[in-house]
Chain A
Amino acid sequence: MRCASAWLLAGLPLWMIAQTAQSSATTRMRLADDRGRVFAPTGQPPRLVSVMPALTEALFATGRGGRLVAASNYCDHPPAAAGLPKIGGPLDPNYERILALKPDRVLVMDMVPGPVQSKLSSLGLPVVYLREPRTLAEISRWMTRVDEFGRTMGEMDAPPPLAIGAFDAELARLTVPGSPRTGCLIVSPGQPLWTAGRDTFLDDLLKTAGCRNLAADYSGWAAIELEQIAKLRPDWLLYLGKPAAPGSPLDRLVRARKLKTLVLDENSASRPGPRILAVLRQVETALGTLPAHEPATGPTSQPPAPDSPPPAPHAP
């Protein structure tokens, strides 16, 4: 009896280790997307189609860009992506073209409407849905997931790409400690004016940069009124893409309130991916919150004098 117990005690840990190893191997052989659909890694390098520019950028950043056989019409970065065959936009992809490419993975995100995803799936295409990250830390995990879907079976055990480690390290270096003070507002000029509220990675970018997002009461990207901007009295107004047109009501408000402004590159700031850290550094440099150990780079803008011309657009 004692002998049997001894065998059991010795054997149980070994059995558990074996089970864990087997389970881990099985997990590595299967990939689940954010809708719970399970995919088996391919033996050959997978043929990828990206329906969103952010996915294309992430694939190139992690070294899987060469596996893309086509991308959306809006995929323009890096330059190699611009030369890929095009399959239409996220809202109106060309189904026949995608089908003709015989992809192993069609990568989509939230922007691709449900009926479009359903149609792609109904054609037998392996649609991989990856939820849009809502924080900068999630961007790192999201890029890891994107990378996994670009791997072959033999590459599943390889360590994460260096780009992801570099992203995490730089994000840690750029994170501003302490409670945020400066009030900021991100605005996409136009009609209507859009602002990035909570649950967007730009909201998290502002927090990481040591500022308060004054639009945190809004959920997601929301239209904001000019008077509301005046009421919120931001210290900094961060333009997405281009500054307010000279003489426009927003421009007049900026001058009247002597708001400090900064122009962020629209593509870098609106796509989750490695370029978001350049935007973070630009914001911190402009706001003067850049951690002391970091070299200050990136253009800034000073508050405009009431009669001075509007600030020239800057790109990170």
Chain B
Amino acid sequence: MRPSPARLHVAGWLALALSLLAGLTIGGSGLGVGAALAALGGRGDDFALTVMREIRLPRALLAAAVGAALSLAGLLMQAVFINPLADPYIVGAASGASLGAALAILAGLSLSYAGQSGVAMCAFLGALAAVALAWRIAGGARRTDPFRLLLTGVALGMLVSALTSLLMLLSRTALEQAFFWLVGGFAAASWPQLPPVLITLGIALVFGAPAMAAMNLLLLGDESAGRLGIDPARLRTRLILLATLLTGAAVAAAGVVSFVGLMVPHALRRVAGPDHRTLFWLCPLWGAAALCAADAAGRWASGALAGGREIPVGVITAAIGVPLMLALLRRR
């Protein structure tokens, strides 16, 4: 017996509210829950207001936005490749972003535009360039075979990763900084990082929503989908473009955060069923809640277990997500 989509929506909003609450009340400064909530309402001293407005609020919201973007991107990639193991990085977005970021770090690029750092902009462009190259080599819009793109993306991703490793060996300081960036996280989250992710998310929701039913038809195979009036190659191109924009924006804001883009769509498919008309809205909602909660859990663990040392959010998503995923797999 599957829970109804309406129930999952209500539960998702509740989970998001709770994870945001956790994100806003957990931190290393000793600001208590009461003081944090008062600061959220605009009351408190300068210190409390700064912690809330400049550290916790942008951090929790960015984690939620990135979680939503990566989960939706994961869903779109899984629909494109008709494969539940596909994730947002499968056609080379992460390796492209990493190369862009490593180049910027190595070049000591310190310029920023409209609050976006040079490293973030290079990462975004790197992600787009890597996927565009894989798509072009795989035959572009003329080819309908998704596995060709998949293999091209994986192969190209390896080449780009090798280039990144080569670059990182040129400088020890750059290696350490690039490695830290690659691990991903929200410690340095700031307000200007939020709009690009939210705008991309909005674009993906607006232009992806009309394709929800068509994504279901892709599951029937290209021939059947074609007979039902769908152009599979065109649909895939559109979905890949949206997924790449989402992934590029997410990676530029937070580095390569692993697992959430794979786990959330996969887990929701097991709970809610394979209908993309439901999953399309549930994925960003639960993805936002999951990553925001993981980041809050990381901050709690940082204070309680790691002596104040920041635990990368990717470690937390894997630590919480893997047992959850295994439990779901055992249940069915």
Task: List residues of A whose CB falls within 8 A of some B CB.
Answer: 73, 86-89, 91-97, 99-100, 102, 110-111, 113-116, 118-119, 122-124, 192, 194, 219-223
Give bound CA distance, A197 to B224, whole Å.
Answer: 63
A-contact 0/1 string along B158-193, CB 8 Å cutoff: 000000000001111100110011000101101000
| Interface stretch (choices B50-58, B195-203, B257-265, B320-328) | B50-58
Chain B residues with CB under 8 Å of A73's CB are 307-309
CB of B30 to closest CB in A, whole Å: 6
Q: 3 smallest A-B Cβ distances: which pairs? A: A96-B29, A221-B172, A223-B169
B172-A222 in contact (CB<8A) = yes
B47-A92 in contact (CB<8A) = no
Give bound CA distance, A124 to B47, whole Å.
Answer: 11
Chain B residues with CB under 8 Å of A192's CB are 169
Q: Binding site of A, secondary structure by majority: helix, strand, loop or mixed?
A: mixed
A-contact 0/1 string along B21-61, CB 8 Å cutoff: 00000011111000000000000000100110011100000
B190-A87 in contact (CB<8A) = no
Number of A-B pairs, beta carbon distance below 8 Å: 90
Chain B contributes a number of interface residues (CB within 8 A of A) equal to: 34
Interface status of B310 (Cβ within 8 A of chain A): yes
Chain A residues with CB under 8 Å of B51's CB are 96, 99-100
Chain B residues with CB under 8 Å of A92's CB are 180, 185, 187, 309-310
Chain A residues with CB under 8 Å of B50's CB are 99, 123-124
Which of A94, A114, A115 sits near B28, CB closer than 8 Å? A94
Chain B residues with CB under 8 Å of A124's CB are 50
Chain A residues with CB under 8 Å of B56's CB are 96
CB of A226 to closest CB in B, whole Å: 14
B117-A115 in contact (CB<8A) = yes
Chain A residues with CB under 8 Å of B110's CB are 114
Which of A100, A114, A122, A223 sits near B30, CB closer than 8 Å? A100
A122-B173 in contact (CB<8A) = no
B173-A220 in contact (CB<8A) = yes
Interface status of B292 (Cβ within 8 A of chain A): no
Give bound CA distance, A176 to B171, whole Å.
Answer: 30
CB of A129 to closest CB in B, whole Å: 11
